[in-house]
Amino acid sequence: MQPSNLALRWLDQLGAHTLGVLGAFGDFCLFGASTISYAPVDIATRRGWGRLLPQCYAIGTRSVPVVMLTGMFVGMVLIVQGWEQFDAAGLSSRLGAVVNISVTSELGPVLAGVMLAGRVGGALTAELGTMNVTEQLLALRSMGADPIRFLATPRFLACLILTPLLTVYADLTGALGAWVIYSGVYGGDSEAFWRYTADIVENWDLITGLVKALFFGGAIGLIGCYAGFHCRPGAEGVGRACTEAFVSSFIVILMLDFFLNFVNNGVYKALYGTRSLF
């Protein structure tokens, strides 16, 4: 094959792939817009709540133990990691505050989001993917019902509402786990732990953490539902969709976290100026 032909073929493949990716992104945006557009009406109607509450139980209530465990171990590990350095510098009394600010503003929402992407996002994709390959989505359409409204919107709303609430659990158990190791294992001063935490961790940190969780929840819900609605036929198609949904959710959570941190820092600086932990 001539080099010019090879280059043309490569360009052709690159162009086709780019078009495919852009098309899929456009399709995802339309799906997201359609899902979100039904949310206000569904929240305002009894029928909408009838569809939402079972999802709140499946997505929220059943995720509480795993999110609490995640938060607790994150808090405990951070104390174990930081104790020697902070103690050597004579700053062990501040370690609790540093850990708690990390948990509330960063690790709590991110790790809760990642856990939910695995537990909830995967389950959403598997459930909707199975409904897709067994013609249940087509059946809904054939009966004059919009599958996005009946299936995607309640799941999206449940993820959106409950991820911040689950993050509160992660924050609380993170702080408790950190305190248990700080005072129980290393003999740190409990009074200093909570006093510096109260001084340094601001409402701003809590709120920005919860705002992040709101975005993460929305992303998990939309990606999980979209993957289920568009999975390929067969068990392999559903399995692949679950994996893709989890990986995509994970990456999107990290990307959103990066950009939201930029925005948060900018807004904080504009409102209160630069702050120091010491």
Partner 1 sequence: MDARDPIIELRQVSKSFGRRIVLDRIDLKIQRGTSTVIIGRSGTGKSVLLRHIVGLHRPDHGEVYFEGRRIDRLSERQLVPIRRQISFVFQLNALFDSMTVAENVAFPMTETGNGRADPRQIAALARRSLQMVGMAGFEDKRPADLSGGEKKRVALARAIAMDPPPKVILYDEPTAGLDPQRGDVITRLIRQLQREVHVTSVVVTHDMKLAAQAGDRVLLLWNGRFIGDGTPEELLSSRDEHVRRFVDGLAEPEDLATLSQ
d(C-alpha 173, C-alpha 191), whole Å: 18
Binding region for partner 1 (CB under 8 A) out of 65-73, 127-135, 163-171, 216-224: 127-135
Which residues, 129 to 168, sit near partner 1 by CB under 8 A?
Answer: 131, 134-136, 138-139, 141-146, 150
Buried b (16+ CB within 10 A) or exposed e, 156-194: bbbbbbbbbbbbbbbbbbbbebbbebbbeeeebeeebbb
Number of chain residues interacting with partner 1 (CB under 8 A): 15
Judged by beta carbon, residue 147 or residue 217, the one nearer partner 1 is 147
Judged by beta carbon, residue 30 or residue 255, the one nearer partner 1 is 30
The DSSP code sequence of 82-114 is: HHHHHHHTT-HHHHHHHHHHHIIIIIHHHHHHH
Judged by beta carbon, residue 87 or residue 127, the one nearer partner 1 is 127
Q: How far is the CB of 171 from partner 1 (least distance, A)?
A: 33
Buried b (16+ CB within 10 A) or exposed e, 120-134: bbbbbbbbbbebbbe
Tokens standing for 137? Answer: 């989505």
Q: How far is the CB of 151 from partner 1 (least distance, A)?
A: 10
Q: How far is the CB of 136 from partner 1 (least distance, A)?
A: 5
Tokens standing for 116? Answer: 């939910």
Which residues, 16 to 55, sit near partner 1 by CB under 8 A?
Answer: 47, 54
Q: How far is the CB of 91 from partner 1 (least distance, A)?
A: 54
Which residues, 93 to 112, sit near partner 1 by CB under 8 A?
Answer: none
Q: Which positions touch partner 1 (CB under 8 A)? A: 47, 54, 131, 134-136, 138-139, 141-146, 150
